[in-house]
Amino acid sequence: MQSGRFDSVGVDVVAYGAFILAILLLPLFLDDPFWLNRIAKYLVYGMLGVAIALSWGYAGILNLGQGLFFGMGAYMVAMSLKLQSSTSLQQGSDSPVPDFMLWNAQPGAPTELCCISPSSFLWLPFQAQWFGAVMALVVPVVIALALSSAIFRLRVSGVYVAIITLASVLLVRLLIVDAQPLTNGFNGLTDLGWLTVAGFEFDPYLTQTYYIVAVSLSLVLVLTRVLVGTRAGLILQSTRDDPNRARYLGFDVAAYQIFFFTVSAGIAGFAGMLYVIAAEFASPSFMDLAFSITMVVWAAVGGRSSLLGACIGAILINTIEATASESEMFQEAWRAIIGLIFILVVLFLPRGLAGVGQDLTARLIGMARRPSAAPDRQASRDAAE
């Protein structure tokens, strides 16, 4: 009776296991630091796909501002890494001072992090690397909690959620660009130091750095998959299908939406942090509208109701994009191609690539069950003899 459920869990264990194995073994076959670093960035995008699938697929919340949380995560850790860079450390002051603060400083301002500009003291705690890393999770989570509480307690739903999240990411982008002395504005934070753990420096082109990203993605995938498999995950899906029914069954629908929206934002913030470690910069372009929408496209192509599908969708599209844009011809046409793929998937494959995969496995399992039961037994007897 329950075989249907067990099968789907079994299939997921195999699929997730195979994917995780593949990304963990990849460095054995790919001996090109440049490409390995590139793939690490795509794995980060894959993590964003997971975040989108969680909020869009499972909670039914179309967040068009996921870049806000990704960007905040990125900036928090980038601030710490900026203070570790050799240029920041060699300004001839007691505390490290980012180069752009000098360029933006008032004449005669003291060259110290505390007081070079009116708000530069905000950078002080970021001298500790762990502080930046912790804030990369805390800040997105706190913002998401506040934003989603306002949205879902007021029972805003559907396209209005998309509009509010979209407006939020643009607002924060504007604030960051505007706060030039504090954030280096439009230029973002570049020339960063490397993540250093117990004396080991994670050069972005090292295999070890790739593994930080790959292991993080594996953990996020597994934990998120477990999370949606809990009762809370099931109840979340029920609030997506019919929020009123869930309410009349006694569930505080907003609490579920807020919780999962915030988890999704936390994943995005974590992804932002990893991206900075691999790419060595943070930029307001992370909060461009186009980037947040691109994430949604990845998830739609991969399959928004599948965490793994959305993750693979993101990695696949970016890998193809990187390969295609090597040739001059595709470079220009790429945006049109990706737009076309998106339209085709939405029209003909509403469950994305994951849906195709699920249908195929269902058919295979069905075929293996019915006619082959007897031959199987025959085969095992043959083998025994």
- Give the interface with other proteins as residue ranges (CB under 8 A): 1, 4-5, 227, 229-232, 234-235, 237-238, 240-242, 244-253, 255-256, 259
Measured from the CB atom, the residue of 153 and 335 that comes closer to other proteins is 153
Measured from the CB atom, the residue of 14 and 234 that comes closer to other proteins is 234
Minimum CB distance to other proteins, residue 233 (Å): 8
Question: Using CA atoms, how far apart are residues 141 and 266, in angstroms rounded to an integer?
Answer: 5
Measured from the CB atom, the residue of 231 and 370 that comes closer to other proteins is 231
**Alpha helix segments (H runs only) across the chain:** 3-29, 33-52, 66-84, 86-89, 99-104, 129-153, 159-178, 180-183, 207-229, 231-241, 243-248, 253-279, 289-302, 307-324, 328-348, 352-369, 373-384
Minimum CB distance to other proteins, residue 8 (Å): 10
Minimum CB distance to other proteins, residue 36 (Å): 36
Minimum CB distance to other proteins, residue 262 (Å): 10
Minimum CB distance to other proteins, residue 258 (Å): 8
Phi, psi of 260 (to 5 degrees): -75, -30
Question: Using CA atoms, how far apart are residues 245 and 6, in angstroms rounded to an integer?
Answer: 27
For 205-236, give one letter per residue: b (16+ CB within 10 A) or e.
ebbebbbbbbebbbebbeebbebbeeeebeeb
Residue 341's Cβ-side half-sphere holds a number of Cα atoms within 13 Å equal to 22
Measured from the CB atom, the residue of 163 and 227 that comes closer to other proteins is 227
Measured from the CB atom, the residue of 93 and 237 that comes closer to other proteins is 237
Residues 225/12, Cβ–Cβ less than 8 Å: yes
Minimum CB distance to other proteins, residue 250 (Å): 4
Measured from the CB atom, the residue of 172 and 253 that comes closer to other proteins is 253
